[in-house]
Amino acid sequence: MTDPKHLGKNWAGFDFAKALGKPVRIINDAALQALGSYRGKGRMLFLGLGTGLGSALVWPDHVLPLELGDLPYVNDGIIEDQLGDEGLQELGRKTWEREAVRAIKLLKQAFIADYVVLGGGNAKVIENLPDGVELGHNRNAYPGGCRLWETNPESKRPRWRIV
C-alpha cells in the first residue's frame, strides 16, 4: 500500500479507527462522488475533471477507485496533464473540450461502462455531452458517504465492497 500522490506522507497504513476510537471507512473523493452518483444498475464510470483527473468505476455493490490520471497520454505526458486544469489553460476551451470528449468516449469504451458521470469543476465546460455521458454534482459526495455505510441486512457486513 502506498501513499496517495496528491496527499502528504504516512496516510497508507495509518490506523484511523484506533486513533479516532470509531469505525472508519476511507475512499478518495472521486470514489465518494461516484458512489453517490450511481443509479443502481450497470457499470458507471466516474470522471472528475478538475485540478487533475479523478476516477472510479461502480457496479452493483462494488466501488473501484481508479488512478486514470496517471495513464500515459500524448507527448510522453499523462492524461491528467491534458484533461486537468493545466490542459484547459494550455489548450484553450474549444480544443480542451474536443480532447476531453475524445478521451471520455475512449475510456467509456475501454471500461465497458453503460454510462459516464462527469464531476469536477471543469465538467461544465463541455457544452455537448456525448451519448451515455451526464453531468454529476459535487453534492453527490454526501449520499456517497451515506451509501458507504449501508450494510447487507443478512450478513450485517458493509453492502459496498471497495475493490
Return all residues near 141 (Cβ < 8 A) that are at least 6 apart.
29, 32, 33, 36
Domain that holds residue 82: 27-162
Q: How many helices (H) and strands (E) does the chain have?
A: 6, 6
Residue range 52-82, pLDDT digits in tens: 999 999 999 999 999 999 999 888 889 999 9
DSSP string for residues in 59-98: ETTEEEEE-GGGSB-GGG-BHHHHHSHHHHHHH-HHHHHH
pLDDT of residue 1: 63
Task: Indicate whether this model's pTM tops 0.75.
Answer: yes
Label residue 48 by pLDDT band (50, 70, 90).
Answer: very high
Residue 150 lies in a domain: yes
Among 5-19, 80-94, 126-140, where is mean pLDDT lowest? 5-19
Residue 34 has pLDDT above 80, yes or no: yes
Q: Does the residue 91 lie in any domain?
A: yes
109-161 residue pLDDT tens: 999 999 999 999 999 999 999 999 999 999 999 999 999 999 887 888 888 88
Q: Quick one: pLDDT at residue 158?
A: 86
Burial 122-155 (b: 16+ CB within 10 A, else e): bbeebeeeeeebeebeeebbeebeebbeeeeeee
Q: Is the pLDDT of residue 12 over 90?
A: no
Q: How many domains in the chain?
A: 1
**How far, in Å, CA of 5 to CA of 8, rounded?**
8
Do 147 and 36 touch, CB atoms closer than 8 A? yes
CATH number at residue 124: 3.30.420.40
* Position 32 in a domain: yes
